[in-house]
Structure 1
Amino acid sequence: MGVKIVIIGGGSSYTPEIIEGFIDRYEEMPVDKVVLVDIPDGLEKLNVITNLSERMIRRSKKSISIEQTMDLEEALQGADFVTTQIRVGGLEARAADERIPLQEGLVGQETNGAGGVFKAFRTIPVLINIADSVSEICPNAWLINFTNPAGIVTEAIIKHSKHKKVIGVCNIPFNMRNGVAEMFNVPVQKVQIEFIGLNHFIFGRKVMVNGEDRTQETIEKMIIHDQNYSPANIVSLGWKPELLRSLGMLPNPYHQYYFQTSDVIKKDLNDLNNQGTRAETVQRVEADLFKRYRDLKLNEKPKELEQRGGAFYSDAACNLIVSIYTNKQDIQTVNTVNHGALSGLDDDAVIEVNAMIDKDGPHPIQIGDIPIQIKGLIQRMKNMEELTIKAACSGNYEDAYLALLMNPLVADETLAKKILDQMIEAHHPYLPQFQKRKV
């Protein structure tokens, strides 16, 4: 029996990558129907993506049908898997997430700092509603979320929606494994990394290459050869030897916002003044991508897609879906409920962790205590995530203020209020749960 997959946010520039993933894995998982769902504002892009997807499938000679719709309830009928890749407010909202904090001298980034908090505020209510629809219409379907901030959003859905079969995915662990594989000139399948932490705040505690512990050698390669595994949306500033050796673990690319804050702000302010926000750069990249996508001769995922910072999210999602469908029982890094895997965090907290994936979903691999050098950082970040979820659901001004104040990249009472007021105003159409008022 064929598999039906629903892609919510089907007009995304990333969709050709996930279509390619289903084509490449067709022998393992015979997808017979993919339904692309979007909103009226995304109709033009949805049409382009649907047409390209049809050309890709024709080229592959696989028996996969593609449909597009704006009727979510209709799309969900009989779905086996539902993926979510939405951006509430579009790239214009992302630009505000980046610009407003930067203009106040803080990190301006779409999933970290004030920008990440407000992306969560806009996104969480929408995805809770989507998850409730999944629960009612296709309750046995797995919801695979790669909408950012993926960890916070995944926890919000699990805790506040009716649907519990939810897993979050991210491309950063994938990038890190690939980066290490390149360092040692081995296939990525030969590399395993023990990850500890949260989405966009993970550390690689142990690196295994061909079954051997090569953690210290990896760290030295990063120091001596200045090798890194940053995605396209994060320009690596390199890491000081003292940081890498004292941590004894691999940082992830997003850690630069926390460990190199002043240098990041200086670089991003310079970029802001000379070429605009990262969102504005992405708009230019997307315009070029969709120009390519409209070419009727194009029938495969173009190489240019890798210029998007989230490239390979879809590959991670496809791997996860296939492993559930085939009961593969392999190890993947996902965002899922802790269930005691990581001591020092609540059992119902969502963490980013290696898990065994089978037909019943993810089973987190036990880690134990959080290493002392990162324990306080991870606990603080998780507390901030929980405050963000609370505020997104309550729409309470004081809750939102507290979430910003406790964010390590804000942490200033005056700036927290100033940015809160500016960003509530800037995102007003996408924050119906908030009623702005002065305090």
Structure 2
Amino acid sequence: MKLTILGGGGFRVPLVHEAVATGATGLVVDEVALHDVDPARLATITAVIEEQGRRLVAEGRAARLPRLSATTDLREAVTGADFVFSAIRVGGAEGRIVDEKVALDLGLLGQETIGPGGLAYALRTLPVALEVARTIADVAPEAWTITFTNPAGIVTEAMRGVLGERVVGICDTPIGLVRRVGRLLGADLVAGTPGTGIDYVGLNHLGWLRSVTVDGTERLPGLLADDAALEEIEEARLIGKDWVRADGALPNEYLYYYLHTDAAIARIRSAEQTRGEFLAAQQGRFYDAAAPEACCSSPLELWSSTLHEREATYMAESRDEERREEDVAGGGYQEVALRLMTAIATGRGERMILDVGNRTASGDRIVPELPEDLVLEVLCEVDGAGVHPLPVGPVELGRLGLMSSLRSAERSILEAARTGSRDAAWEGFSTHPLVSSPELGAKLLAGYEAGHPRIAALLSGEREGHRGDRLR
């Protein structure tokens, strides 16, 4: 079995390799093929993974080391793949800095996936994602594509337009929320045990856990009423215990940016550097020091220490404290991806929260008010026959409105990415729920055209080769 990782020179790729090599899900992978457009970063991450493999063998933790290959040729990397993990970062951390700062300079939220920064990220990513999808369709049409590329919802939606249902988007934040709740209740909430389950619905980075049933009893209202329990749920601490009680649901942590926008902007602007600047500097130091020609004693040790700092400071603008270890732990996106891959490859059933099309296994729309081809984030059953979304309860008007408004703006950006329409891009920036202004939309568009040559070229009718694509 061949697994291809697009964005293979990205910082978090060793997490995927470790999960594969240790047989975390029991699946045997024969080859891991890394692809990246940056040969230097690809060489550095290859060195980290090779040392990681030797250490896993020495410690007796390796179930079976996969054969490792690395290439800058997309078609070579994808040919013969059974699964493709698409985790590209178009423009790298440097592009993220522009995304953040253009918005912040206009008094708007400057964040990677939420707000206008997320739209800018999408606008330069979607043409590349579509190119990747067309290449997969050409040389590996039977492969399953699992995409972590942000903004995950609209990127998944775009790729599904080429590859259909064999594209699935993943994120580790919904399952992190469900696990925290399950830990408190002493129950596995997604195992499919009769009388036990959840209702989670939304878009990527915009979702809500609205029901938690254990042994046939609804437990969420009692949980929301318990201050001590909510203190153990990161999302409730971030967003506010009184709010989650009033709302009657536990939100995805990214709702912080919608519910506390002014506070998030103020915190970001008061920091010495944006998150993009932090990651660009931190990862720049790592790649310089860990490069094979730099001859550091252990690229793996350097990578591990850098990873810990990165994870502990995740979403730092929303917290008054460093992330708790129990909130950092929990498997991460690499576990979600491997579990999904294993369920499809072996037929061993799983229940997972995934980004999929708006249609259940029985053919009904999951959310009847939304288009059939819109990608939602919901609980699914996965087996050898594929991914089967499960029904959810009726979606409340306020949640439905926010979901519709966000995806409408993202679809305008997708139209701009496909056609080069500047008007479509303007509409997308202007109608995002955290912008809602044609004047600000025009200023955002002008700022991103000035800061991103790729966007300027796209909207002027030109095209350029993609560079700076990496795993996030």
Q: TM-score, normalised by structure 2?
A: 0.83
Counterparts of 1:267-346 in structure 2 under 5 Å?
A: 267-271=267-271, 275-287=272-284, 290=287, 291=289, 295-296=297-298, 298=300, 302=304, 304-306=306-308, 307-308=310-311, 309=314, 312-339=332-359, 340-346=365-371
Q: Is residue 32 from structure 1 mapped to residue 26 from structure 2 by the alignment? A: no
> Counterparts of 1:207 and 1:288 in 2: how far apart (Å)?
44
Deviating 4+ runs (over 6 angstroms): 185-191
1:258 aligns with 258
Which amino acid counterpart does residue 23 of structure 2 have in structure 1? R
Which amino acid counterpart does residue 13 of structure 1 have in structure 2? F
Is 339-348 or 120-129 further displaced after alignment? 339-348
Secondary structure of residue in 1 paired with 2:33: strand
> Counterparts of 1:183 and 1:288 in 2: how far apart (Å)?
40
| Residues 376, 297 of structure 1: alpha-carbon distance in 2 compared, 3 angstrom cutoff | closer
Which amino acid counterpart does residue 37 of structure 1 have in structure 2? H
Counterparts of 1:8-157 in structure 2 under 5 Å?
A: 8-25=6-23, 28-39=26-37, 42-58=38-54, 59=57, 60=62, 62-157=64-159
Is 174-183 or 60-69 further displaced after alignment? 174-183
> Counterparts of 2:184 and 2:421 in 1: how far apart (Å)?
48
| Structure 1 position 167, deviation (Å) | 0.5
| Structure 1 position 432, deviation (Å) | 3.1
User: 8 Å contact 2:35–2:71 — kept in the other structure?
Assistant: yes
Q: Is residue 365 from structure 1 mapped to residue 390 from structure 2 by the alignment? A: yes
| Residues 194, 27 of structure 1: alpha-carbon distance in 2 compared, 3 angstrom cutoff | closer
> Counterparts of 2:423 and 2:80 in 1: how far apart (Å)?
42
| Residues 77, 236 of structure 1: alpha-carbon distance in 2 compared, 3 angstrom cutoff | same
- 1:376 equivalent among 390, 397, 401: 401
> Counterparts of 2:250 and 2:25 in 1: how far apart (Å)?
36
| Residues 249, 432 of structure 1: alpha-carbon distance in 2 compared, 3 angstrom cutoff | same
Provide structure 1 residue ranges, at least 5 long, that are not aligned to the other structure: none
| Structure 1 position 263, deviation (Å) | 1.3
1:5 aligns with 3
The superposition leaves residues 211-246 of structure 1 with CA deviations (integer Å, 9 ceiling, x where unpaired) of 75321233234677544436xxxx9644150x2122
2:234 aligns with 229
The superposition leaves residues 43-75 of structure 1 with CA deviations (integer Å, 9 ceiling, x where unpaired) of 222112112212223322624110101111112
Is 186-195 or 415-424 further displaced after alignment? 186-195
> Counterparts of 1:346 and 1:352 in 2: how far apart (Å)?
14
User: 8 Å contact 2:224–2:244 — kept in the other structure?
Assistant: yes
Secondary structure of residue in 2 paired with 1:157: helix
Secondary structure of residue in 2 paired with 1:433: helix
1:178 aligns with 179
Count of matched residue pairs? 423
| Structure 1 position 267, deviation (Å) | 1.2
User: 8 Å contact 2:190–2:198 — kept in the other structure?
Assistant: no
The superposition leaves residues 16-42 of structure 1 with CA deviations (integer Å, 9 ceiling, x where unpaired) of 111111123367211010000000xx2
| Residues 78, 299 of structure 1: alpha-carbon distance in 2 compared, 3 angstrom cutoff | farther
1:203 aligns with 208
User: 8 Å contact 1:82–1:141 — kept in the other structure?
Assistant: yes
| Structure 1 position 300, deviation (Å) | 11
Which amino acid counterpart does residue 343 of structure 2 have in structure 1? S
Percent of aligned positions that are identical: 30
Is 85-94 or 293-302 further displaced after alignment? 293-302
Computed over aligned residues only, the root mean square deviation of the Cα atoms, in angstroms, reads 2.7
| Structure 1 position 134, deviation (Å) | 0.6
> Counterparts of 2:459 and 2:342 in 1: how far apart (Å)?
40
2:240 aligns with 239
> Counterparts of 1:319 and 1:423 in 2: how far apart (Å)?
37
| Structure 1 position 208, deviation (Å) | 3.9
Secondary structure of residue in 1 paired with 2:459: coil
> Counterparts of 1:382 and 1:227 in 2: how far apart (Å)?
31
| Residues 197, 9 of structure 1: alpha-carbon distance in 2 compared, 3 angstrom cutoff | same
> Counterparts of 1:430 and 1:44 in 2: how far apart (Å)?
25
> Counterparts of 2:105 and 2:237 in 1: how far apart (Å)?
22
- 2:449 equivalent among 408, 424, 429: 424
> Counterparts of 1:281 and 1:210 in 2: how far apart (Å)?
46
Which amino acid counterpart does residue 201 of structure 1 have in structure 2? L
Q: TM-score, normalised by structure 1?
A: 0.89
| Structure 1 position 115, deviation (Å) | 0.5
User: 8 Å contact 1:6–1:82 — kept in the other structure?
Assistant: yes
User: 8 Å contact 2:189–2:214 — kept in the other structure?
Assistant: no
Is 308-317 or 298-307 further displaced after alignment? 298-307
> Counterparts of 2:298 and 2:52 in 1: how far apart (Å)?
11
> Counterparts of 1:52 and 1:222 in 2: how far apart (Å)?
44
| Structure 1 position 185, deviation (Å) | 6.3
User: 8 Å contact 1:17–1:301 — kept in the other structure?
Assistant: no
